[in-house]
């Protein structure tokens, strides 16, 4: 398990309001969520998972803009960011059949605001085309918001227990219910310690029972409905699994921006 690797990243961002990623989920079956990507950073000593992402074309991964923070620490280099696809493992394993790609660019939304987390989207471009097969495939972008009450599938390698900074060995999945945006906005701010992080019209909120939510490490990962991508995991309450909603950046509201980024590659 990548216990101290994820702690290294968390220690770096601890002065910020850290978005929360899956608590209360189950282990994903291999070759089921082939659009899932793992973004990892390689230091001289270790390589660690820091965010999730979604394959949206043969060279582009959609993730959260706040995931770029891994590169803001002194001496961090884009050449050390790697994209892993076709695997359910959070680190290299003898059983791992996944593929690794280098990164050509990491493009944040131009109007991303780290304090409010508005426009929390980014596109990571790989250094060569991703090979699609029975383990790896892109996910189509949704064009219509799911109806309230529908179940949204989220996947990731985020913490699986609140207060325990350990990421799972294998990919986790959970189905959470779509919440009314009006009801979700009425809960602002979800995290009192981050009062400027507020749900807006460009978000989607999903919620489960107490003990079910996204958590740190899931950020940037996919939220899917009927096999289409509806959101990228952005932020949540201060305690994972406390019964409050998890917040996604709504893909539908950024279709033109996303397409502009992918058409460049």
Q: Is position 219 annotated as part of the catalytic site?
A: yes
Rounded Cα distance between 56 and 141, Å, is 8
Determine the 3-state secondary structure of 17 from DSSP: coil
Rounded Cα distance between 9 and 92, Å, is 18
| Residue among 38, 54, 57, 219 flagged as catalytic | 219
| All residues at 6 or more sequence positions from 182 whose CB lies less than 8 Å from its CB, including other chains | none
Do you know the residue count of the chain? 265
Determine the 3-state secondary structure of 153 from DSSP: strand
User: What are the φ and ψ backbone dihedral angles of 177, each rounded to 5 degrees?
Assistant: -90, 135
Rounded Cα distance between 70 and 9, Å, is 7
Q: Residue 40 forms beta bridges with which residues? A: 49, 82
| Residue among 120, 191, 213, 218 flagged as catalytic | 120
C-beta separation of 154 from 223 below 8 A: yes
Q: How many helices (H) and strands (E) does the chain have?
A: 3, 14
Q: Is position 99 annotated as part of the catalytic site?
A: no
Q: Is position 120 annotated as part of the catalytic site?
A: yes
| Residue among 66, 82, 234, 246 flagged as catalytic | 66
Residues with a known catalytic role: 66, 120, 219
């Amino acid at each position: 398990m990548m216990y101290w690797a994820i702690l290294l990243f968390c220690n770096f961002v601890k002065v910020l309001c850290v978005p929360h990623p899956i608590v209360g989920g189950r282990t994903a079956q291999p070759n089921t969520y082939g659009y899932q990507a793992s973004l990892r950073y390689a230091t001289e000593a270790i390589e660690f998972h820091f965010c999730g992402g979604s394959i949206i074309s043969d060279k582009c991964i959609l993730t959260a803009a706040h995931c770029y923070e891994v590169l803001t620490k002194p001496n961090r280099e884009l050449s050390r960011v790697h994209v892993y696809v076709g695997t359910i493992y959070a680190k290299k394993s003898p059983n791992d059949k996944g593929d690794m790609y280098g990164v050509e660019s990491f493009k944040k939304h131009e109007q991303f605001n780290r304090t409010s987390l508005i426009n929390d989207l980014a596109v990571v471009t790989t250094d060569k085309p991703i090979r699609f097969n029975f383990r790896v495939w892109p996910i189509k972008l949704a064009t219509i918001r799911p109806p309230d009450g529908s179940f949204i599938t989220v996947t990731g390698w985020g913490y699986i227990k609140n207060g325990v900074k350990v990421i799972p060995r294998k990919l986790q999945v959970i189905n959470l219910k779509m919440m009314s945006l009006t009801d979700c906005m009425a809960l602002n701010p979800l995290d009192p310690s981050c009062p400027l992080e507020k749900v807006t019209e460009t978000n989607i909120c999903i919620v489960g029972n107490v003990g079910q939510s996204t958590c740190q490490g899931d950020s940037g990962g996919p939220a899917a409905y009927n096999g289409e991508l509806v959101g990228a995991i952005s932020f949540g309450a201060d305690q994972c699994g406390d019964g409050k909603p998890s917040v996604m950046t709504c893909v539908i509201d950024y279709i033109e921006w996303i397409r502009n980024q992918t058409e460049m590659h």
